[in-house]
Amino acid sequence: MSDYAAPLADIRFALSQIAGLDNVLSLQGFEDLTPDLIDAVLDEAGKFASGVLAPLSRVGDTQGARLENGVVRMPDGFPEAYKAYVDGGWNGPVFDPERGGQGLPWLVGTALNEIWGSANLGFSLGPLLTQGAVELLEAHASAEQKDTYLENMITGRWTGTMNLTEPQAGSDVGALRTKAVKEGDHYRISGQKIFISYGDHEMVENIVHLVLARTEGAPEGIKGISLFIVPKYLVNADGSLGQRNDLRPGSLEHKMGIHASPTAVMLYGENEGAVGYLIGEECRGIEYMFTMMNNARLGVGLQGLSVAERAYQQAVAFAKERVQMRDAVNGGKEGVTIIHHPDVRRMLMRMRAQVEAMRCLAYEAAAGLDLAKRLADPDARKLAQRRVDLLIPIVKAWSTDVGQEVASTNVQVHGGMGFIEETGAAQHYRDVRIAAIYEGTNGIQSIDLVGRKLGRDGGEAMGLLAAEIAATVETLRAQDDADLSAIVAPLSEGLASLERTTRWMVGHIGQNPGEALAGATSYMKLAGYVVGGWYMARSALATVGSGDAFSVQKRQIARFFAEQLIPEGVAMERPITTGGALVAGMSVDAF
């Protein structure tokens, strides 16, 4: 597998020119942070990723996590890497320094998570889930629960998990059967959960499971679900660890990819019942869990970017060294490296354009989290949250779909060698495949975008975004630059298509939901490519007046995205507006 180098120039550009790092650093609570400090953090993260995490990615894939006599063993080097990760202060960068965090913005934390995911996706899943669990506890746990769990989780001494799925209850969480019986100041939890990432391992002293369960007498469906803290080891009043709780990993899943991540079947309450502590109030578990799920969906979308970046780097490295055939453009009798061939260049440019658009999208969503939490004006906070809510399903679904495509293109660039495991190209393809499935399948994200986000406000939030895209188009028109001028027509066409289909969706989601939902995935693709093209146009505008190679390439890649990729989104308009009736109306017996 090729080496990984964090793309710090591109990361810094997206942070400053697209996501508005300066604006984020001006928010309350970030007064002591400076761009120079953020640069230093990114530099050190890049060194740690390339020097410690990236070399273990192949090890994790080939060895995998394994369950031996009830104990989960991690691949060679992972425990030592985790200790170094924690000792370096990387586990809780966005959390309260008084509880062991670094107090950085979510925007910067998202850039760090991109780096960890590119270097070693299997490793990065554990800290990502812990971050989500911490955010949930910060928002909904009692003061006593926060004092008991947060500092150890933020510093990385303990990790956290999310327990939703059961064999009969996948995306339909309301069908879960795990029970919670009240017993004094706690509950006894019994049931089975599946697909629990980092459900068990020996790299930390304790694991804090956040478990959805149904209390006695609770209503059926999601309205009757509560959320519980169920620690692997009970915590004594003085903070020390007590006896082992009644839970264990029953098995580890044998997965297509992310082999280093121990994905467990977790068994609760086989004996006296696992001790669990209610978070908040009974029957509000789904509401609380969505705090963690929204965080996780941004993180999963980021995984599409992370793997795509790694795959792109590998494809470029291979294309620059693989000699095949003569140069069909410039002539000559000798074979040349394949990067000289136009179709290979096309693939590499497509990969790069997609990676850069995904990065801008994820970073702006992350910046929105900071704005929604810290802006002084309550109305401005609500507006920022509204934008985040609109972008999150696009980040998750579009970015993971595109991440799969980029990983597949990497295999194609490698040719036959891409089909051979030793090159590592296949690992990226296998690893990223799950991202379109977990934390809500991409079809569910598309339904969320259409049914909830457009349906909730009649498309108003999307309309505000469209107005910003229109303003960017007008700014492009005023530029005297061939690359920028070439972006105007495709982006204008994409915007017009997005506006038409949004109106169509808003008009159909209430009266003809079957037709609207049948086109939801196509609408998601259209939105992804148009919004992605907008970010690329903004990237190009940020380089106006600069003639250095980096700036010229930004303009060229933005033009490529507009001319080659936005039309693919526009092509979704007909499937969105005409195919739904046929899909919704076809007899089940016809399949």
Residues involved in catalysis: 439
Angle (CA) 469-25-364 rounded to 5° is 30
C-alpha span between 497 and 330 (Å, rounded)? 40
Q: What is the identity of the amino acid at 560?
A: F
C-alpha span between 109 and 194 (Å, rounded)? 28
Nearest CA to 113 among 298, 357, 353?
Answer: 298
Cα-Cα-Cα-Cα dihedral of 351, 352, 353, 357, to 10°?
100
C-alpha span between 491 and 497 (Å, rounded)? 10
Hey, which bits of 261-393 come out as E strands? 263-268, 274-278, 323-326, 335-337
Q: What is the identity of the amino acid at 338?
A: I
Greatest extent of the chain over all pairs of C-alpha atoms, in Å: 84
Instruction: Evaluate whether 486 touches 537 at the Cβ level (below 8 Å).
Output: no
Nearest CA to 229 among 255, 247, 243?
Answer: 247
C-alpha span between 237 and 509 (Å, rounded)? 53
Instruction: Evaluate whether 232 touches 210 at the Cβ level (below 8 Å).
Output: no
User: Exposed (0-12), middle (13-18) or buried (19+): which is 142, by Cβ within 10 Å?
Assistant: middle
Can you list the pairs that 553-556 forms with residues at least 24 positions away whose Cβ atoms lie under 8 Å? 554/13, 555/481, 555/483, 555/484, 556/483
480-to-56, 477, 486, 544, 559 alpha-carbon distances in Å: 48, 8, 11, 9, 14
158-163 and 241-244: which strand pairing? Answer: unpaired
Instruction: Evaluate whether 91 touches 81 at the Cβ level (below 8 Å).
Output: no
3-state secondary structure of 275: strand
Instruction: Evaluate whether 503 touches 525 at the Cβ level (below 8 Å).
Output: no
Instruction: Evaluate whether 250 touches 267 at the Cβ level (below 8 Å).
Output: yes
C-alpha span between 373 and 393 (Å, rounded)? 19
Instruction: Evaluate whether 4 touches 310 at the Cβ level (below 8 Å).
Output: yes
**Token pair recorded at residue 472:** 């960017």
Nearest CA to 303 among 121, 93, 123?
Answer: 121
Rounded to a whole number, what is the distance in angstroms from the first to the last CA of the chain?
42
Instruction: Evaluate whether 161 touches 343 at the Cβ level (below 8 Å).
Output: no
